[in-house]
Homo-oligomer: A and B are copies of this chain.
């Protein structure tokens, strides 16, 4: 029986045209990071299950993971996210210069039902600062995120960076009457607010608040707050240091001037390890309702590896989700998909000049010219057609006469003109 020509559901497969689009996106992410002094790293896809079981949350590890026992009887997992591996790498470098500013674009794995923007094998861009507890670190990663959107020429009207603070919310929920034992459930409910109808969500929240209507009403008021100068909020948070930090961070953002950054108490992010400021990037147009990016401060992750305590802040950004966002708004430059794979095509007139064609190709390539050489052995007309279909602008023909005289005809397929010259002259003409 013939094997299927399809990859497994949710897996990442990229033909050259698709690859070019993905590469445009990942290279723009990379460039924005490099401009901010961040350095690239990478870690293993296969990790000990225990690395994620410790902190990532039950849903991710227990129900959405690719985990198995390897031939050496180790319980392993295909990483569902990058941050725990990053924390380990930093923890292992005793003498490392802190803070570190690192980024990576790893392949990650989650066994979820595939749908638009959600697959099982995905590239997730990650950018983090470890070793600084200052709000300047939060500011810097948000500046990079903002810089990324500017690099993609995304107008600030089409996206929003919503932010809040876990520490602030823990305090605020307590002041709203949420008991400590219900706090995790309420956080989880708040995280699901954008994923269901208002009524269903109100029910979920009420359940999380142990069916206390008064408390649930307070929580709804809290997540609906639009401004840090809201009177009800200021009264509620009187004397809270967590609230003061939030106000301070807001001033930093306003001082730099990032209009897309908006205080949004309903942003709590799903990962268990966040402790401070959290944020996410959303499409404000509604065509892409998953967050494009989520991040925040994690204080206790590096400590899992020993007695060092190193605080970190960073974000993860799904390359596919971002690509769909860019395509929705027409922000992938048309040239990315249509780029020709070579500057010149070498047409080979007969089998006895293949070596000579190879020599010419080698020479032109050594001059930095992208040369596609015919390997089909088809008739010249078909070779010209192939060059044309690829969008290659020039064709140089190699035949026995040309080899004997060392002078070659180069046709410009755009305007039909012909240039004749030695390999050196052809090279100069192409440049």
* Chain A residues packing against B (C-beta within 8 Å): 2-9, 11-16, 19-20, 23, 34-48, 50-51, 54, 66, 68-72, 74, 76, 78, 85, 88-89, 91-93, 97, 99, 101-102, 107, 109, 111, 120-121, 129, 131-132, 134-137, 139-140, 143, 146-147, 150, 251-252, 254-257, 304-307, 341-342, 345, 348, 354-359, 361-362, 365-366, 368-377, 386, 389-390
Contacts and interface: CB of A to CB of B under 8 A. Distances in A.
A74 B252 CA distance: 51
Given A132-B375, A375-B140, A377-B136, A45 B47 contact: no
Contact of A45 (B34, B45, B304): B45
Contacts of A365: 35-36, 147
A363 B372 CA distance: 41
Nearest to A360: B256
B355 A252 contact: yes
Nearest to A38: B341
Contact of A358 (B40, B134, B140, B362): B140
B256 A111 contact: no
Nearest to A307: B2
B44 A13 contact: yes
Given A45-B78, A140-B358, 15 more contacts: A2-B304, A7-B88, A13-B44, A14-B43, A15-B93, A34-B341, A37-B341, A37-B371, A39-B341, A46-B109, A66-B70, A71-B111, A143-B362, A143-B373, A256-B358
Contact of A37 (B69, B121, B146, B372): B372
14 contacts: A5-B91, A7-B47, A9-B72, A11-B47, A14-B43, A16-B41, A19-B41, A35-B369, A37-B372, A99-B376, A136-B377, A140-B373, A147-B362, A147-B365
B256 A37 contact: no
A21 B50 CA distance: 30
Contact of A359 (B19, B92, B256): B256
Nearest to A54: B3
Give the copy number: 2
A37 B358 contact: no
Contacts of A150: 366
Given A8-B48, A39-B16, A134 B355 contact: no
A41 B131 CA distance: 37
B50 A3 contact: yes
Nearest to A359: B256
Contacts of A2: 304-307
Contacts of A357: 136
B97 A8 contact: no
B132 A377 contact: yes
B71 A68 contact: no
Contacts of A66: 46, 70-71
A72 B112 CA distance: 11
A42 B19 contact: yes
Contacts of A93: 15
Contacts of A121: 44-46
